[in-house]
Amino acid sequence: MEKQFTSAARVYLLLLAIAGWFALIGQFYLIISNRQASVPETIIRYFTFFTILTNTLIAVGSTLILLTPTSRWGEFFSKTSTLTAIAVNITIVGATYNIILRFLWNPQGMQWVVDELLHLVIPLAFILFWLIFVPKGQVKWNNIPLWTVYPLAYLAVILIRGALSGYYPYPFLEVTQLGYPHVLLNCAGIAVAFIIVAILFVGVDKLMSKNQSE
């Protein structure tokens, strides 16, 4: 079982969980209200966004750590390797949106609020949680290949579903507009970015562990 979190960490997790569930439920309400497809199809599309899936991991993980820390899933989400993998993925979410996607539209009102929570506030807050509260010195370089399973599986599923439905959640995955060579090149770029970010997190982990032991 992983080291139990301090009271301060648990308060931080509570705030993360509240912000996460608020943003996820708010985005779900908005996508249903403004749907351009049937309700079942809109619900499926909601869960095709990497942003939604990764923020859901944070909301669910924070909730389970708080409510059932000794359960199988509570212990899984408490693991340093799990929390670091989530930190890597939410960093990719924040970086991709703020570097590439932010300037493609101009959300207003409630949509702006949930957008900022999902793509900026929660990513930064979770990275800060990882830096301050997650024990250091427990992740290894050989954790990185396992961490890549989630984003690579996501890309594969999105491309397969897109080929069947014609719907792609992100413009850089739009095969109908860009063609497979361009999209696959974009996927390769995302994979490289993920590995670089993962290396940075493991490197910071080892550096902080070394400094703490001195």
Query: Which of 193, 201, 204, 200 lies closest to 50 in space, CA to CA?
Result: 193
CA atoms of 64 and 73, how far apart (whole Å)? 7
Q: Which two tokens stand for residue 22?
A: 């608020």
139-168 pLDDT tens trace: 999 999 999 999 999 999 999 999 999 999
Whole-number pLDDT of residue 28: 98
Q: What is the mean pLDDT of the chain?
A: 94
Query: Residue 182, exposed/middle/buried by CB under 10 A (0-12, 13-18, 19+)?
Result: middle
Q: Which two tokens stand for residue 37?
A: 């497809």
H or E element in which residue 130 lies: helix 122-133
The single residue listed with the structure tokens 């413009």 is: 171
Asked if 84 contacts 58 with a C-beta cutoff of 8 angstroms, the reply is no
Query: Residue 42, exposed/middle/buried by CB under 10 A (0-12, 13-18, 19+)?
Result: middle
162-207 pLDDT tens trace: 999 999 999 999 999 999 999 999 999 999 999 999 999 999 999 9
Whole-number pLDDT of residue 2: 47
